Amino acid sequence: MGTPEFAVPAIKKLHQDGHEIVLTVTQPDRPRGRGQQVSATPVKKAALELKLPVSQPESIRTFEFTRAIRALRPDVMVVVAFGQILPKSLLSVSPSGSINIHASLLPKYRGPAPIQWAIINEEKQTGVTTMFMDEGLDTGDILLSEKTDILSADTAASLHDRLAVLGAELLSETLRGLRTGIIQPVRQDHQQATYAPLLKKSDGQIDWTRPARSLDAFIRGMSPWPGAFTFHAAKRLKIFRAEPLRTDTREAPGTVIQGFPDELRVMTGDGALSILDIQGASGKRLPIRNFLQGNRIPSGTVLTS
């Protein structure tokens, strides 16, 4: 059971390992992208390529759906970023339980946006966890976990891709360990739990009073979605990449300060931020040098939150 790109390496790994996938459950086809054309989910596309059966229920919380799953007599259910909460009636179908891959080192960063918040909060490490699912939100017993460093250049996109592959490998190891009996589930320490809430478009607004290093992490964590942004002359500027700088300049946060002609340096609450990739209100993503050729932002300009 899975829907987005994050779940694709897992279904491919299950197939590669020789497991019999009796059914792939994913969200219904919906309008996606700028053109809002109806398209299949990434998991559906992968399942069809592998010639696997696919089901796309509007809701899994029906008697009919649960009965259909029971009729398949699955040994285990694997859930990866599916997008619907499984009811108790489904969680109890498989004799070996339901296994979930979560993109954090549980119990830290439970919830829907663990990858983004780990970067935003300047964590040095994150990882993936396999766990038995229960009725709570990412609260089940831990099976295995694997760490990875968060690199200084990591965005939510690059870390997402790395964790997706790491999660698929960990799932493979988990299923082998459960089959041989060498894995002992461990209860989570709920006192250590933190939550990673779903991000909204408005969450990307830059607060220039924060330190430059913190804003660098914020911008990377917000990339590619919802995107970090600020305003110049009431027009939105979307910032994709930046670099913290030390400076002796004393200006209010958000003020554009003196730099080379092809640079855009902005004062923060501590240090300055050199903007590297940017997108105007009606343009495309550009290196700052190209952007400034047609969009003059002189020193002294104040970018607003």
119-130 in b/e form (b: 16+ CB < 10 A) is: bbbebeebbbbb
- Yes or no: say if 72 and 25 are a contact pair by the CB < 8 Å rule: no
State the pLDDT at residue 275. Answer: 98
CATH fold label, 201-294: Methionyl-tRNA Fmet Formyltransferase; Chain A, domain 2 (3.10.25)
State the pLDDT at residue 155. Answer: 98
State the pLDDT at residue 282. Answer: 81
**Are 5-192 and 201-294 equal in CATH topology?**
no
Alpha helices in the chain (DSSP H): 8-16, 42-49, 63-72, 88-91, 114-120, 156-180, 212-221, 288-294
- Yes or no: say if 197 and 113 are a contact pair by the CB < 8 Å rule: yes
**Coil, strand or helix: which one is 140?**
coil
**Which pTM does this prediction carry?**
0.95
Beta strand pairing call for 265-267 and 272-279: antiparallel
Q: Which residue do the tokens 């300055």 mark?
A: 272
For the chain, how are helix, strand and coil distributed in percent, rounded to 5? 30, 25, 45
**3-state SS record for 66-133:** HHHHHHHCCCCEEEECCCCCCCHHHHCCCCCCEEEEECCCCCCCECCCHHHHHHHCCCCEEEEEEEEC
Domains in the chain: boundaries = 5-192, 201-294
- Yes or no: say if 239 and 291 are a contact pair by the CB < 8 Å rule: no
CATH fold label, 5-192: Rossmann fold (3.40.50)
In 10 A of CB 31, how many CB atoms? 9
Q: Which residue do the tokens 């960990």 mark?
A: 170
CA distances from 26 to 18, 53, 57, 81, 163 (A): 21, 11, 8, 10, 20
Residue 58 one-letter amino acid: E
Q: In whole angstroms, what is the distance from residue 262 CA to residue 247 CA?
A: 18
- Yes or no: say if 165 and 80 are a contact pair by the CB < 8 Å rule: no
Q: What is the mean pLDDT of each run of 10 residues along the chain (305 residues)?
A: 98 98 97 84 98 97 96 97 93 95 98 98 98 96 98 98 98 97 97 97 97 98 96 95 94 96 96 97 92 94 93
Length of the chain: 305
* Alpha carbon 234 to chain centroid, angstroms: 30
Q: In whole angstroms, what is the distance from residue 166 CA to residue 143 CA?
A: 15
* Alpha carbon 13 to chain centroid, angstroms: 20
State the pLDDT at residue 35. Answer: 77
**Coil, strand or helix: which one is 60?**
coil
CA distances from 199 to 37, 65, 81 (A): 24, 30, 15
